[in-house]
Amino acid sequence: MAKDYLTFASPLGTLEWVTIVGTGKKKYDPTNTLSDEPKNFQYTATIIMNKDEAEKVKVDLLKFWREFKPAGATKQTYEIVKEVMVPVLDAAGKPTLDEDGAKITKPNGKWSMIAKTGVLGWKDKPTVVETFRPNLDKYGKLVPLNLGDKEIGNGSTGVIHGKIGINAFGGNEGLMFYLNGIQLLKFVERSDSEEIAGADLGEGDLGDLDEIEGLDETNEDGPKV
């Protein structure tokens, strides 16, 4: 008899590519046929772990799979715990390519696991992915953490909470990690821009651009005008 799900918490690890607010990310769409309707978007979060942690997770998930896999299914057709692959760089620091023009990659010693959930849930109600403090309350329950308008950035650490479900679709049988919440140990705020560092190039000659108001060096009060 198939079991609906397995309650699951990831190992404590580094969080990457967390998107749990707003419009979410569009589902994998290799044929570019999905519309931009909310039903085709997901919230996602990735946990990065070491080999020992990954092996333990894989053992637990394999046990669940073997006990509750769909009738007639044998092995999973895909893995949800994967080695992190990085490009092999040449002497100039550029990715190397094989004879077919594809990037050559190698494992970096880390493993990843992605949790996902639709931005719309039961009866098309908006999904809320909860965030929690590192400590539990006196009853051993998770304590909610309100991030306000801040978002979780790469380099944060924590635990992803969710459920492991079974994908029984013929020819694509396997497991799925459904995202319910994130318990944070270390918070790094997401930033879509980074400060650009550079060297002083001297006076230069920018022609007519030098006459544009506000282009001069700035002081504590803002741009000179």
DSSP 128-175: --EEEEEEE-TTS-EEE---TT--B-TT-EEEEEEEEEEE--TT--EE
**119-123, 159-163, 209-213, range with greatest mean pLDDT:** 159-163
Across 60-81, average pLDDT: 93
What pLDDT shows up at residue 219? 43
From CA 213, how far away is CA 131, in angstroms rounded?
Answer: 45
For residue 148, the enclosing domain spans 5-199
> At 152, which CATH number?
2.40.50.140
* 212 in a structural domain: no
How far, CA to CA in Å, does 188 sit from each of 98, 150, 179, 217? 37, 10, 20, 31
What value does the mean pLDDT take over residues 197-212?
A: 54
Residue 207: pLDDT band (50, 70, 90) is low
- Assigned domain for 224 exists: no
What pTM does this model have? 0.81
Count of domains in the chain? 1
- Condensed to tens digits (0 to 9), the pLDDT of residues 78-110 reads 999 999 999 999 998 899 999 999 999 999 999
